[in-house]
Structure 1
Amino acid sequence: MSSPAAQSSKEPTAQSELPPTASSSSSQITENRSPHSSGSTTAEDLSAWSKFFNRHAQLGRNRRHRNESDHKESMRKLRRLVLNRVPDDDLHTPFGPSRPLVWKLLLGVDCSATHYLDLVARGPSPAHVKIRNDTFRTLATDQGFKERVSEEMLIRLLEAFVWRSMDMYEDDAEASMEEDAPLSFSYVQGMNVLAAPFLYVYSAQSATLTSTSLSDPAAKGKQRKIGSEMEAFYCFAAFIERCCPLYVQPTLVGVHAGLELLDRCLNIADPSLFAHLRSKNLTAELYAFPSVLTLCACTAPLSEVLHLWDFLLAFGVHLNILCVVAQLLLMRDQLMDSASPMKLLRSFPPIKARAIIGITTTLVRDLPDEIYQELVAHTGAML
């Protein structure tokens, strides 16, 4: 897989499809911390979601009549619905719970149970020790996550990803005659936390599949509940490879580029807050590394992280930089009043997805074009 080129103009789905917002000052933004921040899905929203899923099911039954125009229009409708909040457990679709389907549609994922089981059957990967050093502490304080996702599931998924990436790199290297080497993937810091939301979301739906590809003959034919884990794996792999490949290179080049952009975006959004933090020798590298590395998945509660990720999957992972800026603006008063703001920044307040998304959609419209281009490019996303 070759490195994706940055696009040359503002991405329509991340820019023109975002709702219009008033031009922002920091005071307006802080005051907007939100009548909507704890909002649940309304009856009107549920009706709109039901119509979308029923239409999707109808198109699925009539694949011969689908075309590129239908697909683009369907994705536009889906992104608009995401802005109004993806239902949690309020709505089941003809395909099961809503969020798992939404994420698969946004990522364009197809799954193969046989291939996943073959990867799992290989056992420990070359990155096994690094994986085991991280998995036990993944979202360790979130009891709901621990009850739904076992460490063994996380280990299997990450080991399988390493094996799959090694296979793909070998195939690409043999097939490619280009001077630029294809991007390769292995396990890097933070990947365990990026995998966690996928396993959590897809554990809500489980399918019993027959394993016929395990290396142990005695295991063949056993019924294994691997449907949810398999779907999480393919969505995670697509997410890493298409949405943020530069975030998971050995040097974390995309993460460090994002941190530098965060400083610049904060300076544009709120020069006074930026100057105050710099006067304390604070840069994003010091206080925002976990939030950028994990796309805010390191900050509780997970239920709100999922809503934030709905937004990022729909409009672009690059917008996470502005989501972190939005969190700083929501903390503005406390940060400005503090002689030691790093004490506050060591642990960000609980995520309020609706408030953060509202501020982010304002910030993105006020960014200079050249900064927005750099935001889009810094993740290496395949657009």
Structure 2
Amino acid sequence: MSSSPPLIAKAQQFNKILNQSKYSGSRIPEDIEDGLKKLRRLILVNGIPSEADPSIRPRIWKLLLRVRDLSADTYLRYVSRGPCPVREKIRNDTFRTLATDRLFKEKVREDMLVRLLDAFVWRNHDLGESLRPAFTYVQGMNVLAAPFLYTMPSELEAFYCFATFIEVTCPSYVQPTLEGVHRGLKLLDRCLKIVDPELFSHLRSKNLSAEIYAFPSVLTLCACTPPLQQVLQLWDFLLAFGVHLNVLCVIAQLLLIRDDVMASKSPMKLLRTFPDLDAQAVIGIAVTLVRDLPQDLYNELVKHPYEMRA
């Protein structure tokens, strides 16, 4: 199917900035940062036109994550070591990763997911004392790895993007205690109480806190809510502006079904499975919610995916 002229024009805009923002010895960091600002603006206003040029999204994700060095030898060395010490735990999760998404299942085999997660555990086993905090496989990592394997042209690129994402962007989310996830859920309750006190009170009257209804959405950065194509659009936004905004994206999903939740005597029946994701609507609401939050609360929100507490 051929792309429409407007989509092609948007793709050309992105490609122009990407070509100007390539890492090289002759490029100074200010050029890269300027390019990133322009990309973020385009992502927010237009979204990434992946239909017109499928190569744009993986290139943007690598730039946003600042992934430059892709050592095939290193990755192959990890893979050659075979099953990692927690392979059984990994296999208990991988078979059900995005199990209902046909496009994902057609492109990403379970063995690819297992291999990437094995390699990640071996990588952190080798880094040992040089990497703090330490990492191993924890619940939810399988779903967080899925968008990278689906989006990147190669397993190698997916591995390095995933590793950087986990170790730099949201390390507190993948500690054995899931401390960042639980902090995010508490922040969700605090934010909801400010932006919609009536909805917050209604949920609390039914003994519903974010820990009960929003755990999967916070744990996986909404990757558990289909369809995958909408998840990728939401992740474009989160990678560009910060994964902390996922908390507000979950609130946005609540607000989209607010009338039904308020009218329900048993809202958990509605909240057990969120409706299909509409990334554009969710992003639009999340951006407006930022303005309603006190600065100190927003600062906590920004820090919670990466700030490690004793």
Give TM class, smaller chain: over 0.9
Specify the SS of the correspondent of 1:90. coil
Shift of 1:55: 4.6
2:216 paired residue number: 290
Q: Which one has the bigger helix percentage?
A: 2
Mapped pair 1:118 → 2:77: yes
The correspondence of residues 1-383 of structure 1 with structure 2, limited to 5 A, is: 43-44=5-6, 46-57=8-19, 60=22, 63-83=24-44, 84-91=46-53, 97-110=55-68, 111-172=70-131, 182-202=132-152, 205=153, 228-380=154-306
Deviations 1:321-363 (A, max 9, x none): 0000000000100000000000000000000000000001100
Is contact 1:246–1:253 with CA below 8 Å preserved after alignment? yes
Aligned mates of 1:42, 1:248 — CA distance in 2? 41
Cα deviation, 1:89-129, whole Å, max 9, x if unaligned, reads 2125xxxx111111001001121111111110010001111
Q: Distance in 1 between matches of 2:259 and 2:295?
A: 29
What is the CA–CA distance in structure 1 between the aligned matches of 2:276 and 2:14, rounded to whole Å? 31
Partners of 2:112 and 2:155 within 8 A in 1: yes
Q: Cα 1:311–1:55, aligned 2, differ >3 Å: closer, same or farther?
A: closer
Q: By how many angstroms is 1:88 displaced?
A: 2.0
CA contact (8 A) 1:242 1:381 kept: no
Alignment size in residue pairs: 304
Larger Rg: 1
Residues 7 and 52, structure 2, Cα contact 8 Å, conserved in 1: no
CA distance in 1, matches of 2:18, 2:270: 45
State the AA in 1 paired with 2:33.
Answer: K
Q: Read off the aligned partner of 2:29 and give its amino acid letter.
A: E
Task: Please provide the CA RMSD for this pair.
Answer: 1.7
Moved more, 186-195 or 110-119: 110-119
Cα shift at 1:42: 7.4
The unaligned stretches of length 5 or more in structure 1 are 1-40, 173-181, 206-227
Report the residue type matching 2:208 in the other structure. L
Distance 1:106 1:196 in 2: 18
Determine the C-alpha separation between the residues in 1 that align with 2:211 and 2:26: 50
| Amino acid aligned to 1:74 | G
Q: How many percent identity over aligned positions? A: 62
> Who is 1:216 aligned against?
none
Find the residue that maps to 1:366 and give its secondary structure.
coil
